[in-house]
Amino acid sequence: MSRYRIPGMGRVDPARTVRFTFDGRSYTGLRGDTVASALLAHGVHLMGRSFKYHRPRGPVTAGSEEPNALIGTSRGPGRFEPNTRATVQELREGLVAESQNKWPSLKFDIGAVNDRAYMLFSAGFYYKTFMWPRSFWDRVYEPFIRAAAGLGKSPTEADPDSYASRNLHTDVLVIGGGAAGLQAALVAAKSGARVVLVDENPEMGGSLLSDPSVRIDGQGAWAWLADRVAQLRAAGVTLMTRTTAIGYYHQNFVGLVERVADHLDRPPQGAPRERMWHVRARQVVLAQGALEKPLVFDGNDRPGVMLAGAAQTYLNRYGVKVGDIAAVVTSHDSAWYAAFDLADAGARVAAIADTRDRVRQDLVDAARRRGIEVLAGHTATATSGRLRVRSVRVNPVRDGKVGPGREIACDVLLICGGWTPSLHLFSHTKGSLAWDADNRTFLPDRTTEACQIAGAGRGLWGYGPVLEDGMRAGLAAAEALGRTGTPAGAGVEGDRPGTGVTQKELPTDRSAGKAKAFVDYQNDVTAKDIRLAVREGMRSIEHVKRYTTNGMATDQGKMSNINGLMIAADALAKEPPQVGLTTFRPPYTPTSFGAFVGYHKGATFELTRRTPIDPWAEAQGAAFEPVSLWRRAWYFPRAGEDMHAAVARECRMTRASAGMFDASTLGKIEVAGPDATEFMNRMYTNPWTKLAPGRCRYGLLLGEDGFIRDDGVIGRLAQDLFHVTTTTGGAARVLNMMEDYLQTEWPDLDVWLTSTTEQWATVAVNGPNARKVLAPLVEGQDLSDEAFPHMSVAQCTVAGFPARLFRISFTGELGFEINVPARHGLALWTAIHAAGQPYDICPYGTETMHVLRAEKGYIIVGQDTDGTVTPQDAGLDWAIGKAKKDFVGKRSLQRPDIVAPNRKQLVGLLTEDGTRLQEGAQIVLDPNQTLPMTMAGHVTSSYDSVALGRPIAMAVIAGGHGRMGETVHIPMPNGTVRATITSTNFYDPAGERLKA
Amino acid sequence: MTAQRHDFDAAPFRLEELPWSPRFSLRVRPQNRAALEGALGLTLPARIGERSMTGGTEVLCLGPDEWTVLVPESGRDALVDAGARIYAQTPHSLVEISDREITLRLSGPQALTALTAGCPRDVEALQTGRAARTLFDSATVILWRDGADSFRMDVWRSFLPHVRAILDKVAAELKSGL
C-alpha cells in the first residue's frame, strides 16, 4: 500500500494494482485511479511546469477542469497524446506518462528563469516587447515566440487508432449524472420517455461519489446511488459514462464524445478509441453542477495547493490523503466539510482560515471538536516551499485593515473561493445569463432551446434542494413532451448545505504589485496583470481577456473567468455584468481531432465516386485525378512514359486513328413531359422548338446574372423527351437550379426532371477511324454521315446492350458517345477496346481530353470561365436564341456593364518563343509601364499541342476580341514572354474533320 | 454503447448486395394520380414514406408527385408500354433508373445500430413497412424498413464503395463489442 492510501476508503479496488510510469519512474496504483490520484497516493504533487513562468505545479482539481496537471501519455508508436489531464486519465496497465514544459527535468527546469524575470512578462508584453525594430519580427521575434510557445509536444506519427461516430435520437438527454441528473432522468423515464443520461466520469454519481457520509432515503449515499442507477437501467434509460457533452447547438443538437478505449489495458481488436455522438433530443436537461473557484493570493499555485473539493474527492473517491498536515483557506462552507473528512481520515488539519468574519456556528463547533483551529476574518498573503508547499501565511483582517501575518506549517493547502455554476453548454445556445447580485454569480436566465436546468448548475447548494430540483426538471421535461411524470422525492439526512462569498484577489499587507497571485493557472495570468490591463485602457472583459490571455488556455477559463471578472470589475469600479462575461464556445473540454474525424480517415477520408469503368483503368495502371467527388482516369502511361509523354501519345493516336474515353461522370438529366420544350427554352440560352427528335444541340446555361453556369450537349429523343448532359462537377447544381425554377417560378409546366447520371455509363470514341471501330458493334442504326450526321442521337443497340448513341465531338474529330445502362459499362468499354485493336485504339484520360478540346477552343466551364464570363465574352453568342422572348439570364445580358466594350474576352495565345505559359499567369499590354502595372487578363488554359507542334493557350483579355494579332506580355518565372492574340480555334478551323 | 452484449464469432450484422432488378422513377401531378394508378395497375400511396405492394410490384411514395416503382423483370416491358399508352391522356414521367442505384440489405440484431453510424435520421422511429430518403455518411440513400432487424438501402452506384467501406469499419467496431 502506498504511503498516502487509506485502507477501506475510496471506490478503487485495493485487490487490483496497476503499474505505470511517470517520467520514467515506475509506480503502482489501483484499478479505478486516475494518474493524478495514483501519483498523489505516493505523495507526488509535482506534475508539471506552468506555461509562461515554468513554475512547478501540481493538480489543483480532481476533474476535467484541471489547468495544471497536464501530461503526455503514450501507448506505443503513434499513440502519444500531449496535454492529457492527469486528473481525468484513468490508470491502465503499462501507461507511460511524462511531464511537460520542462528541461532538463521536472525538478530542475532551465525555463524557470522566466519566473525570476516575471516583471518582463506582464500583461501585453508581446505587444510591448516585440514592437521594434520592425525587421526583427520575421527573423528573431516570431521564431523565438514560436519556439517558446505551445504546451506539450505535437505527435509526429500518424494516429493508428480508429474513431467512430453515431447518431442518436432521444426524447430527453440529461447531461450530468450527479444528484440532480439522476433524479431528472428517473422521473422522465418513468413518464415513458426515451431517456439518455451522460456523464464525463467513469461512473455516475457526480459529487455524491465524494460525499459518502450523506444519507438519502435512509441509505448511505453510495448505496442510494447504486440503487438509483439500477432503477434507471430497469426503466430503460441509456446510461453513458466517460462521455462528455462538448457542444450544445441549435434545435437541441448536442455533441457528445465517448472515451471508449483509453482506460482499457488492452482494447479489443477493432475498438474505436473515441466515439462522437450526434444527439438530437426533444428535451435537454442540463445538470452539470458547479465548478469550484480558487482563491487569489500570492503563491496560490505551489504544488500542494489544491481546491478543497478536490482534496475531498481524492480522499473519498480514491482513498488518497493529499497530505499529512493540511491548512484551509476558504470563503465558502464547503471547504469546512472537506477539512472534516480529512481530519476524520487521520490527517492533521492545522487551521481553517475563513475570509468571512462570521461562519455558521455548527461548522465552527465541528471544527473545534476535531481540534482544528478556526481563524475567521482572515486572509492568506503568501505561501512558502519550492516544489511543494511548506507553509501558508495568514493575517487577520479587521475593518479592511490587514493585520500581522502568521505562518502555518502544512504540506497541503486547501483553498476554496466558492462555486461557479457550469454555464458552458447553456451559453453555447446563446441562452441569456442573469447576474445574481446577492450571491454575486451569473445564473442561467432565458433559454432559446427546449432545455431545463437543474441543481448546482443554477446556483442551488446542498443535496436536498438539488435532488428536489432534479425531480422538478424531470417533471418539466416530461410535461413538455406531453407526458405525465410522477414525483420521486428523496429525503436527505446529514446534508451538507453551504453558502459563501465571492472574492476578488485577497487583501494583503505586502506589495500587491509583487504578488504572484494567480488567476489563470494555465496561462500564468496574475491579479496584477488584470489590474494592469485595466490601467492600460481595457474596459471590456473581452479586451482584458485578450490582453492578458486570461481564460484563453485549453481549460477555457473554467477556474479563472469569474475571478478575473471580479478583479477587473473592482478595478473599473463597476458591477460585474457591466464589464461583461466572455463567451463560452464549444468544445467544453479539449477534444481530439480523431473524434471529429470519425470514420473519415484512410480509405474513407473523403467520399470518392468511381465509374463502372474505373476498375479497368486501375488495372491498366492509369493515373487518376479528382474531379469534384469523382476520381477520373487522368492518363494511361505505358512503360517508361511520364505524364508528358503519355498525354502526347494519347493525343497523337486519337487524332491519327481512334481514342476512347470514359465520359460516365458527365451529369445527365432526363427532361420529360408535354412542356419539356418550353422548359428547355426557358432554362437554356438556345432555341429548342425546332430541334427535331433525333438531333442534338450544344446547350448553354446562364445564371440570372447572365454569366455562364454550365454547358453540355442535349439530345432530343422524342417530342417530349430530352437527354440533357451537364459538366461533371455541375450535375447536382444544375438539377437543383432546374428544380428550383420549376417548383418556384413555373409550377404550371407539365415537365419532370430525373437525374440519370448514374443510370448510364458513357464511352466516347473519337478519331478518323471512330466509325470503323464502332460500326460492327451497332445494331439498329446506320452510322453513315448521311443517315447519322454530326449532332445526331439515336436509341439502338451497341455491343448487344440497349444504348443511347450520340454523334458528337469534344475533340474536333469524328466522334460518338455511347450510353448504356451502367451495369454494362465495363462490358461496353472492353468490347469497344477489342473492336478498336485493328485501329490501335487508344484509351485516353482527362488530360488528353483537355488538350484536344483546347486545340478546338471548346471551353471548360469553371476553367475558362470563372462565374463572370458572359456568352459574348466566351465567343458563344451564336448559342443564344435571339428570337426567344426569355430565358434565364436574358435580361442581364442587356446590362450596361455586360455590353460594355472592354470586358475580358476569351482569346487564343501563341507565344513567340514557344514557351508554354502557366495557367493563371497575368497578362499586360505594355511591359514598360510603371508599377503597379495594369493587368489586362490572365491565362485560363495552357497545353503543349502535338497537333500544332507548339504550346497553345487560352486567356481572357480586356477587349480581346478586338485585339487579334496584337502582342501581349506575360511574366513567367524565367522572364517576360511575348505572345500573339489569336482565335481559340487552333486546329482544323473549318471543322472538316468533324464531318468525316 | 458499452453495455451491448455481443457474440464474438458472429458478424454484428449481415450485409448483402441485392441482385439487379428493374426500378423506375414515376412522376405525375397529384390530381392525375388515380388515373395513372388504374392505367398502370399500381397503387400509388399518397403519403411520403408509405409503400404499397401490388402483385410483385412495390411502390414507394418519395414526394407529393414522386414514386419509386420496383417491378419484377417479367413486368418491366408491360409497365413501360402501359405508360406510353396513357401518356397522351395522363401526362407523366416514367424514367428507368434500374442501374442508378444498387440496393444493400442489412439485417441482424445490430443492423439498426450500424445504420445509426451513418444516418442522421431517427432510424429507430422508421416504421416497418415504410421507407425514407436520408443520408448514410455523405451519400444520399433511400432506407426501407422491412422488419425490426431488416433494412434495405438504395445507394447511388458510385457512392457504394464508400458506403460499404464505412460499413466495414462499423462492422469491425461492433465486433469489438465496445
Which residues are within 8 A (CB) of A989 and not within 5 positions of it... i.e. 6 or more apart? A983
Q: Which residues pair with A976 in a beta bridge?
A: A971
Region A795-821: mean pLDDT is 98
Contact call for B95 and A754, based on CB within 8 A: yes
Chain A residues near residue B118 by CB distance under 8 angstroms: 167
pLDDT of residue A496: 96
Which residues have CB under 8 Å from A968's CB, separation 6+? A909, A923, A924, A925, A936, A957, A978, A979, A980, A981
Q: Do B98 and A759 touch (CB under 8 A)?
A: yes
For residue A731, is it within any domain?
yes
pLDDT tens digits along A852-866: 999 999 999 999 999
> Taking CA atoms, what residue in B is nearest to A598?
B117
Helix (H) or strand (E) holding A18: strand A13-22
Dihedral Cα A953, A957, A959, A960, nearest 10 deg: -10
Residue A959 backbone zone (phi > 0: left; psi -120 to 50: alpha; other: beta): left
A282 and A305 inside one domain:
no
Alpha-carbon span A865 to A708, nearest angstrom: 7
How many alpha carbons fall within 13 Å on the CB side of residue A147?
Answer: 7
Q: Hey, how many other C-beta atoms are within 10 angstroms of the C-beta on A109? A: 19
**C-beta of residue A657 within 8 angstroms of C-beta of residue A836:** no
Q: CB distance A750–B91 less than 8 Å? A: yes
Considering only CB atoms, B25 lies closest to which of A162, A278, A754, namely: A754
- A527: phi then psi, degrees, rounded to nearest 5: -60, -40
Region label for A205, one of left (φ > 0), alpha (ψ between -120 and 50) or beta (otherwise): left
Of residues A604, A611, A759, nearest to B169 (C-beta): A604
CA atoms within 13 A on the CB side of A253: 9
Examine the domain organization and report whether A181 and A84 are in the same domain.
no
Could you confirm whether domain B14-18+100-175 is CATH 3.30.479.30?
Answer: no
Q: What is the residue-wise DSSP string for A144-175?
A: HHHHH--SSPPP-S-----EEEEEEEEEEEEE
pLDDT (0 to 100) of residue A461:
97
Mean pLDDT computed over B136-161: 97
Cβ contacts of B98 on chain A, cutoff 8 Å: 759, 821
CA–CA dist A222, A599 (Å, integer): 39
Residue B1: its pLDDT value, please? 38
The C-alpha cell of B51 is what?
409503400
The pLDDT value recorded for residue A388 is: 97
Report CA-CA distances (Å) from A650 to A601, A634, A661, A946, A950: 35, 11, 11, 10, 16
Distance CA A391, CA A378 (A): 15
- Helix (H) or strand (E) segment spanning residue B163: helix B160-175
Determine whether the interchain pair B165/A603 forms a contact, defined as Cβ–Cβ distance below 8 Å.
yes
- Nearest-Å Rg of the Cα atoms of chain B is 18
A693, part of any domain:
yes
- The Cα angle at residue A299 between residues A297 and A305, in degrees rounded to 5: 95
Give me the pLDDT at residue B2, please.
Answer: 42
**Per-residue pLDDT for B21 more than 60?**
yes
Residue A804 near residue A793, CB atoms below 8 Å: yes
Task: Kindly give, in sequence order, each residue whose CB lies less than 8 Å from that of residue A647, ignoring residues fewer than 6 positions away.
Answer: A635, A845, A847, A848, A851
Query: And the C-alpha cell for A297?
Result: 493570493
Residues ≥6 apart with Cβ < 8 Å to A131: none
Q: Contacts of residue B117 in chain A, CB cutoff 8 Å?
A: 164-167, 599
Task: Pick the last residue of a domain from A540, A562, A582.
Answer: A582
- Looking at residue A112, its pLDDT comes to 79
Task: Say if residue A56 is in the same domain as residue A179.
Answer: no
The DSSP-derived string for A895-924 is: SHHHH-TT-EEEEEEEESS-PPPPTT-EEB
Q: Which residue among B124, B159, B173 places its CB closest to the CB of A272?
A: B173
Does residue A274 sit in the same domain as residue A298? Answer: no
We report the CATH number of the domain holding residue A945 as 2.40.30.110
**Chain A partners within 8 Å of B122 (Cβ):** 169, 280
Kindly give, in sequence order, each residue whose CB lies less than 8 Å from that of residue A745, ignoring residues fewer than 6 positions away: none
The mean predicted confidence, pLDDT, of chain A is 95
Contact assignment for B20 to A823 by CB distance below 8 Å: yes
Same domain, A298 and A323: yes
Residue-by-residue DSSP string for A413-475: EEEE--EEE--HHHHHTT--EEEETTTTEEEE---SSSEEE-GGGGT--SHHHHHHHHHHHHH
**Is A166 within 8 Å of B117 when comparing Cβ atoms?**
yes
Which of A382, A520, A506 shows the shortest CA–CA distance to A68?
A: A520
Do both A718 and A736 map to the same domain? yes
The answer to whether residue A683 is domain-embedded is yes
Instruction: State whether A599 and B117 contact (CB < 8 Å).
Output: yes
Q: Residues A618, A607: contact at Cβ < 8 Å?
A: no
Mark whether A303 and A194 lie in a shared domain. no
B117 contacts A167? CB cut-off 8 A: yes
pLDDT higher than threshold 80 for residue A126: no
Domain ranges (residues) in chain B: 14-18+100-175, 23-96
| pLDDT tens-place string over residues A666-690 | 999 999 999 999 999 999 999 999 9
Cβ <8 Å between A609 and B159: yes
Contact A43, A99 (CB under 8 A): no
pLDDT band with cut points at 50, 70 and 90 for residue A969: very high
Closest-CA residue of chain A to B93: A672
A866 in any annotated domain? no
Give the pLDDT confidence of A483-500 residue by residue, as tens digits: 999 998 889 999 999 999
CB contact under 8 Å between B97 and A754, yes or no, is: yes
Q: Name residue A101's amino acid.
A: N
Please, where are the H alpha helices in A456-590? 463-480, 527-535, 541-548, 561-572, 576-579
- What residue of A is the nearest CA neighbor of B178? A271
Mean pLDDT of A203-225: 97
- Average pLDDT for residues A398-406, to the nearest whole number? 95
| Percentage of residues in chain A having pLDDT higher than 90 | 90
Residue B166: list chain A partners with CB under 8 A: 599, 604
Q: Which three cell numbers stand for residue A829?
A: 468499354
Set of cell numbers at residue A887: 430565358
Region class of B100: left (phi > 0), else alpha (psi between -120 and 50), else beta: alpha
Cβ-nearest to A759 among B93, B96, B138 = B96
Mutation target among A609, A632, A722, A762 for the B interface, most CBs of B within 10 A:
A609
pLDDT value, residue A583: 82
Could you tell me the CATH number of the domain that includes residue A179? 3.50.50.60
How high does pLDDT run on average in chain B?
94
Q: Is-contact A410 A326, C-beta < 8 A?
A: yes
CATH number at residue A60: 3.10.20.440
pLDDT score for A130 = 65
Cβ-contact A34, A200 below 8 angstroms: no
A-chain CB neighbours of B159 within 8 Å are 607, 609
- Among A399, A417, A435, the domain boundary falls at A417
∠ CA(A557), CA(A417), CA(A69), 5° rounding? 50
Q: Are residues A399 and A544 in the same domain?
A: no
Give the closest-approach CA distance of B56 to chain A in angstroms: 23
Residues A91 and A241: their CA atoms lie apart, in Å, by 16
Q: Is residue A911 located within the same domain as residue A966? A: yes
> How far, in Å, CA of A27 to CA of A17, rounded?
10
Do A967 and A978 touch, CB atoms closer than 8 A? Answer: yes
Dihedral of alpha carbons A436, A437, A442, A446, sign = positive
Average pLDDT estimate for B40-46? 96
Q: Which run of H or of E encompasses A649?
A: helix A643-656
Decide if A805 is inside a domain. yes
In this structure, are residues B178 and A267 in contact, taking their beta carbons and an 8 Å threshold?
yes
Q: What is the DSSP letter of A218?
A: T
pTM for the predicted model, two decimal places? 0.93
What stretches of A752-845 show up as alpha helix (H) in DSSP? 770-774, 825-835
**Cis before A932 (ω within 30):** yes
- B99:A760 CB<8 A: yes
Same domain, A793 and A669: yes
Q: For residues A49 and A113, state if they share a domain.
A: yes
Write the pLDDT tens digit of every residue in A80-119. Answer: 999 999 999 999 999 999 999 887 888 888 777 777 776 6
Nearest to A951 by CA among A996, A990, A919: A919
Whether the CB-CB separation of A900 and A704 falls below 8 Å is answered with: no
Let me know if residue A544 belongs to a domain: yes
> Has residue A1 been placed in a domain?
no
A754 and B93 in contact by Cβ < 8 A? yes
A584-623 pLDDT, tens digit each: 899 999 999 999 999 999 999 999 999 999 999 999 999 9
Q: Is A611 exposed, middle or buried (0-12, 13-18, 19+ CB in 10 A)?
A: buried
Whether the pLDDT of residue A905 is over 50: the answer is yes
Cell output for A420:
461557479
A267–B176 C-beta distance less than 8 A: yes
**DSSP annotation string for A684-739:** BSS--TTPPTTBEEEEEEE-TTS-EEEEEEEEEEETTEEEEEE-TTTHHHHHHHHH
Q: Which fold has domain B23-96?
A: Alpha-Beta Plaits (3.30.70)
* Contact yes or no for A751/A742 (Cβ under 8 A): yes
Contacts of B134 in chain A (CB under 8 A): none
DSSP string, A948-965: TTEEEEEEEEETGGG-TT
Which residues 6+ apart lie within 8 Å of B54 measured at CB? B41, B42, B43
Is the Cβ–Cβ distance between A285 and A187 less than 8 Å?
Answer: no
Residue A154 lies in a domain: no
Q: How many domains does chain A have?
A: 6
The parent domain of residue A46 ranges over 13-127
Please give the single-letter amino acid code of residue B76.
R
A560-585 residue pLDDT tens: 999 999 999 999 999 999 998 878 89
Partners of A625 in the β-ladder: A632
Q: A167 and A313 in one domain? A: no
Grid cell locating A458: 443554477
Measured in Å, how far apart are chain A's first and last C-alpha atoms? 94
The angle subtended at Cα A674 by Cα A673 and Cα A677, nearest 5°, is 90
Tell me if A980 sits within 8 A of A912, measured CB to CB.
Answer: yes
Longest alpha-carbon distance in chain A: 114
